[in-house]
Amino acid sequence: MNSLISALPLINAQPHALAPAANSPVLQTLPSVNALKQQLPLSTALSEQVSAHRSAVRNILDGHDPRLLVIVGPCSIHDPQSALEYAQRLAGLAADVSDQMLLVMRAYVEKPRTTVGWKGLAYDPRLDGSDDMVGGLKLSRELMREVLHMGLPIATELLQPMAAGYFEDLLSWVAIGARTTESQIHREMASGLNMPVGFKNGTDGGVGVACDAIRSAAHPHRHFGVNASGEPAIIETRGNSHAHLVLRGGHKGPNYDRDSIAQVHQSLGKAAIPARILVDCSHANSGKDPLRQPEVFNGVLRQRLQGDRSLVGMMLEGHLFDGCQAIGPNMRYGVSVTDGCLGWDSTERLLREAARQLRQGSADSTL
């Protein structure tokens, strides 16, 4: 990882138009969105690929594509080399199960922190507190572009609205986390994104806040923002008709069981929101035990096979090897440094078996 980072020259940053607070000195100016995109552009072929992937996700959400949507990959990317190895493996698996599932790789480069801690590749790419955000933005975009070259759709959580523009043209699906679903700023941002956005339920496990967010994001907005040249601007959005719900459990436990899903249907119905539900197999739904994610996944899959087509997909946190580790001098290759992940062997076995069951279910439905 260090060799990759040290090989990346810093971008010639353009001054940012927003003035800092008087007691907050500017450490370094950032490149504009346009500057970074010009340095690391998308080819016409990759842009068309992203557009096709977004359409595929929308078709699954709308029920026009019967496949299962699976967002899978590292909790966060900290080592580009292991992330690209994971992507290579996932691309091969995606091709093998493409008749039943659309696999989208998690490429999370921002991480929310309850108090303090490592904030992600975009913030601190060297994992040493140096906070080289200029290098982090460049490395993150470069890494995502490499994943696109492998043919995979990309998903991420957009945490800092000012950072969203650096990556949004690469993404086919976006998450808004449980702690930011209630944020007006994130709802406004989601309303202007040109890809489906999943809002997670609140940390209490309730879906009311997420329902409000989905309804807000579906409407046009005018809000304060920064344009692609780095200037303060009034942003006008058209609304996002493919905002939807992601269930991740809550303080009281999981919310993917049959009774919980029935209650969610009632809540969505009262709010006049289409019943399009993804289930996050990690976090509170797995009791924060990464090795229990297959249990959650299979529980949701059973409900879908039994006829609940509102369950359009699942999320899995997976890396090359099980578990997680602390950031330090002797880190293991392919092991998460944030939430614990399911190792590749278990992930591959889970998804291949799910594809088999889905094929059998499709065959049975035609008898």
Nearest residue to 281 (alpha-carbon basis) of 54, 6, 75, 82: 75
> What is the pLDDT, as a whole number, of residue 11?
34
Q: Which secondary-structure segment (H or E) carries 102?
A: strand 101-106
Reported as a single tens digit per residue, the pLDDT across 196-220 is 999 999 999 999 999 999 999 999 9
Tens-digit pLDDT profile for residues 316-362: 999 999 999 999 999 999 999 999 999 999 999 999 999 999 999 87
pLDDT, residue 324, reads 98
What single-letter amino acid sits at 99? D
Q: Where are the domains of the chain?
A: 38-365
Q: Which long-range contacts (CB under 8 A, 24 or more apart) does 44-52 make?
A: 46/145, 46/148, 46/149, 47/169, 49/148, 49/151, 50/148, 50/153, 50/169, 50/170, 50/171, 50/172
Q: What string of H, E and C letters represents the secondary structure of 314-333? A: EEEEECCCCEECCCCCCCCC
**For the chain, first and last CA: distance in Å?**
53
Q: CA 203, CA 283: separation in Å to the nearest integer?
A: 10
- pLDDT value at residue 21: 57
Beta bridge partners of 278: 246, 313
Instruction: Choose among 70, 82, 158: nearest CA to 337.
Output: 82
Regarding the domain delimited by 38-365, which CATH topology (the fold level of the hierarchy) does it fall under? TIM Barrel (3.20.20)
Number of other CB atoms surrounding residue 35 within 10 Å: 18
* Nearest Cα residue to 154 out of 73, 210, 216: 73
For Cα atoms 199, 214, 156, give the angle at the middle one, nearest 5 degrees. 30
Residue type, 162: M
| DSSP character string of 197-263 | EEEEPPTTS-SHHHHHHHHHHTS-EEEEEE-TTS-EEEEEE---TTEEEEE--BTTB---SHHHHHH
- Go through the chain and tell me how many residues it has: 367
Distance CA 91, CA 104 (A): 9
Structure tokens at 221: 């907005």
Rg (CA), the chain: 20
Residue partners of 318: CB distance under 8 A and separation at least 6: 72, 73, 74, 86, 293, 341, 342, 343, 344, 346, 347
**Model's pTM, two decimal places?**
0.92
pLDDT of residue 25: 79
Q: In one letter, which amino acid is 111?
A: K
Token code pair at residue 103: 């696999």
- Which one-letter amino acid corresponds to residue 31? P
Q: Please name the amino acid found at residue 214.
A: I
Show the low-confidence residues of the chain (pLDDT under 50).
1-18, 367
In this prediction, residue 78 carries a pLDDT of: 98
Question: Would you say 132 and 125 are in contact if contact means Cβ atoms under 8 Å apart?
Answer: yes
pLDDT for position 116: 86
- Specify the pLDDT at position 6: 38
Strand partners, 233: 225
Q: What single-letter amino acid sits at 94?
A: A
DSSP 8-state code for residue 179: T
**Would you give the DSSP letter of residue 75?**
S
**What does the pLDDT read at residue 114?**
82
For 59, 104, 269, 304, the CA distances from 64, given in Å and listed in that order, are: 5, 18, 21, 16
